[in-house]
Chain A
Amino acid sequence: MSTQLSGASARPAAPARPGRSSTTAGTAALFRFALRRDRLRLPVWVAAGTAMVALQSVSSQSFYDTPGALAAYRASVGSNAATIALAGPPVGLDTVAGAVAFEISATVMLIAALMAMFTVTRHTRADEEAGRTELVRSARIGRHAPLLAAVLLSALACAALAVAVGSAATATGLPAAGSFVLGASFGACGLVFTGITAVAVQVTGHTRSVYGLVGGAFAVFFVLRAIGDIEGNWLVWTSPIGWAQATHPYSRDELLPLLLCLVAAVALTVAGFALLDRRDLGAGLTQPRPGRPAATRSLRSPLGLAVRLQRGAFLAWALGLALLGVVYGALADSVETLIAGNEQALAMFGDPDVGELVDAYLSTTFSITALLAAAYAVSAVLRARSEEGEQRAEPVLATATSRSAWLGSHVAVALAGSALAMAASGVTTGVVRVLQTGEAAALGRMVGAAVAYVPAVWVVAGLAVALFGLLPRLATALAWAAVGLFLVITMFAGSFDWPGWVSDLSPVSWVPLMPLEPWTAGPVLALTGIAVALLATGFAGFRRRDLATG
């Protein structure tokens, strides 16, 4: 905060001071302005994270109200690789408070990371891309001031999240010390992603690619810690999410791992400033190469344009889901060992068929993959919205391109892309299973299990299209809120026994849990029908409404 105060000396009359301090001139003013711009946004992020913890605390305390219930829970979770992969290390499950931390921490870590990513990007690269930074920097504002203000704002938000979670968890009756350790672990995770974003906004010139880089980093770190937690090995220590969870709130209350987060956050932020000095305003680290003087044959239709605009994002997502399929498939072996070595689990399930438990694990992983594919589909549909909002739809719709053809091309990319990405993850999991078991039929079973989710993914895409047609200005926020809701439902409704109607809210829950359960036509027909209805609503709405201008 001392730099912030030194920035306050940037009064109009003061002469420019030479040396280091002047590169941060104006940070205080920018910080206050950013705080004002985000006065609603940040409280919503903090409230969302805090509410998740408070709700989890209240529901777990009523759910595991007897020692027996808690013991049964411990037995089932301790052997469930999918749950461990999604939630974290199964530590401290002998108290309700420990169970709360186990159940909710991964979700709130994600919230903290997203909050940091959006906050830092919004006040740095997004402003720069829109040309606002140029205007700001022409005033008495130092070169480092915008990034410093953004990092400080994000750090403030992380601190607020830590305090709010600690207070809320304590207020719901959990031990105070552990509650604040839990809150601090979220804040620390947010700080690391603040640093990661500070670097990412220097590397690339596009806001969209920043989200890709930071989201990719989160995914990699999440997978590293998932493998580490299932295998019980050192891999958790390669991931900042693993560090934050190594605090083990309510059982061990370790604070030392948070120091790692802090050091990483500072080091990354310093790296961000160093990179900032090596690039031009408005540019990334690399200069764009010249393009083609004329268009190829493929760029001749609205679909050609949509494919050209979206192919990079599609390839990244498809590759990501295919790799995730490899990881999930590879972990299936560990699942068998985990169950075989867990006597409580063996006792609880009677004499379990290990093969069936592996299938159960795989079907859970495919439902997570389906939600990621749905997230991709939503982002692909919303590309139409950003094309419209940034005035790039207008010149196209002023040609002989109908509104349906224009929207249809983006929707086609979303539907086909999400189906292909789903199939890719099924193929990779299947190939790994074939190598593990030597059973060639596994490939077909895995691809079938993955593809079975496609209608559910399309329902989510259809919802985004309907929102785009009917409520263009709210579409982005509402569509992502829906994805977030479905994600939380799928991740936790099954593992933590939420009521049935809650899980039915998510189209993903309608799909039979293949390969464990058999395929049935009913849900597929219902989901396809809903998807078609939503798509039709969206197209009709878009044909009827004004194009958003300015």
Chain B
Amino acid sequence: MTAISVSGLVKTFGTTRALDGLDLDVATGEVHGFLGPNGSGKSTTIRVLLGLLRPDSGSVRLLDGDPWRDAVALHRRLAYVPGDVTLWPNISGGESIDLLGRLRGGLDPRRRAELLDRFDLDPRKKARTYSKGNRQKVALVAALASDAELLVLDEPTSGLDPLMEAVFQECIREARTEGRTVLLSSHILAEAEALCDRVSIIRHGATVQSGSLDELRHLTRTAITVETARPATGLDALAGVHDLRQENGRLRFDVDTDALDGALRHLTGFGVVGLTSTPPTLEELFLRHYGDELAEDGASAREPVRS
């Protein structure tokens, strides 16, 4: 059961190739993180999924429909929080929530009241007098108060304070328990780690990694710091060990997840006195992909080849 299935999606704006063969699969009922650096094409992908932009090529299916052709029917079943929430200056937050809810096909008044309370939002203010975070909350309440089976959220927590971020995470967990599907684009890795079943990382409009967090962790390295009774030798000859260095009599290195077992067996031969291991974080994975990009940056001006 897939809620979203995108393959080989290409979208150009004049000479800008915003999406360049992007793939994305979101299973029904999962919370899917959609990660990528600024300008990598997250919002563009989401707008194609909403039928606001027409793809140049590639196949896009959303809730078993064609997002361009069946836009209206599909939109009854989803709710969207845009990345940049702009509201009507003279219409109050409460009115905007009601309007967007009704245009979708109705919203639950009990849930609306409860969400206003949890997000601590004053619905009487006119949109132009809301702070950025409060504008974001208006869009969030409108989306979460709906009974949509799919939530499409483009950086929904930008501008929220940590307290509200926690409320948001709670709401997403509830949505998941209710069996809803969530596509969550984000820059906040802690948020993605806390919420997502699976993530897709994109860069330059193409998917570079996709899978469950466990699978992705598998692709990263664990950082090990070890103190041994006798000087440990021969580690550098092992495959999968990187960045080996000596610090204050301790040995530090990074090891690929599949080489972890071998490395530890090797170390026990020297009498392990102390050991700390830092599990791989999503951040590391992310930085590895972003880091490549930073390194590539100088070259990419002359050489527009994607990795």
Contact = CB atoms under 8 A, between A and B. Distances in A.
B99 interface: yes
B86 A391 contact: yes
Nearest to A397: B52
A399 interface: yes
A395 B128 contact: no
Interface string B73-99: 101101010101111111110110011
Interface residues of A, number: 36
Contacts of B88: 309, 392
A368 to B, nearest CB: 31
B52 A400 contact: no
A438 interface: no
Given A295-B95, A299-B95, A395-B80, A400 B86 contact: no
Contact of B95 (A292, A401, A546): A292
Given A395-B100, A397-B52, A547-B53, A293 B72 contact: no
A396 interface: yes
Contact of B139 (A304, A395, A396, A402): A395
Contacts of B71: 397, 402-403
A546 B87 contact: no
B50 A398 contact: yes
Contacts, number: 110
Contacts of A545: 54
Contacts of B44: 549
Given A294-B94, A400-B72, A394 B52 contact: yes
Nearest to A394: B82
B94 A399 contact: no
B103 interface: yes
Contacts of A398: 50, 52, 75, 78, 80, 82, 152
A320 interface: no
A294 B91 contact: no
Interface stretch (B118-126, B207-215, B234-242, B247-255): B118-126
Interface in A199-256: 205-206
Contact of B82 (A289, A305, A395, A401): A395
Contacts of B54: 544-546
A282 to B, nearest CB: 8
B47 interface: yes
Nearest to B74: A400
A391 B82 contact: yes
Nearest to A296: B95
B268 interface: no
A301 B98 CA distance: 11
Contact of A392 (B73, B87, B103, B105): B87
A299 B95 CA distance: 8
Given A292-B94, A549-B52, A206 B89 contact: yes
Contact of B123 (A205, A206, A294, A392): A294
Given A299-B98, A305-B99, A549-B47, A392 B86 contact: yes
A391 B80 CA distance: 14
Nearest to B48: A546
A543 to B, nearest CB: 10
Contacts of B87: 392
A258 to B, nearest CB: 39
B177 interface: no
Contact of B94 (A291, A390, A394): A291
B102 A291 contact: no
A300 B101 CA distance: 9
B interface, over-half SS:
mixed
A392 B88 CA distance: 7
A292 B92 contact: yes
- Residue of A289, A299, A398 with highest tally of chain B CB at under 10 A: A398
B82 to A, nearest CB: 6
Contacts of A391: 82, 84, 86
Contact of A291 (B47, B82, B124): B124
Contact of A399 (B98, B103, B128, B129): B103
A291 B90 CA distance: 8
A466 to B, nearest CB: 20
Nearest to B75: A400
Interface string A537-550: 00000001111010
Interface in A293-349: 293-295, 299-302, 304-305, 308-309
Nearest to A309: B88
Contacts of B139: 395
A399 B96 CA distance: 13
B42 interface: no
Interface string A368-396: 00000000000000000000001110111
Contacts of B43: 549
Contacts of B53: 546-547, 549
Interface in B32-53: 43-44, 47, 50-53
B180 interface: no
Contacts of B92: 290-293
Given A294-B95, A546-B52, A399 B125 contact: no
Interface string A21-65: 000000000000000000000000000000000000000000000
Contacts of A15: none
Contacts of A350: none
B105 A400 contact: yes
Interface in A257-292: 288-292
Contacts of B52: 394, 397-398, 546-547, 549
A155 to B, nearest CB: 31
Nearest to A288: B126
Which are the 4 A-B pairs with shortest beta-carbon distances?
A291-B92, A295-B98, A399-B103, A398-B80
23 contacts: A205-B128, A288-B126, A289-B126, A291-B91, A292-B94, A292-B124, A293-B92, A299-B99, A301-B102, A302-B103, A394-B82, A395-B85, A395-B139, A396-B103, A397-B50, A397-B52, A399-B104, A401-B103, A402-B72, A403-B71, A544-B54, A546-B54, A547-B47
Given A392-B88, A398-B75, 12 more contacts: A291-B92, A291-B124, A295-B102, A299-B95, A395-B80, A398-B50, A399-B75, A400-B105, A402-B71, A402-B72, A547-B52, A549-B53
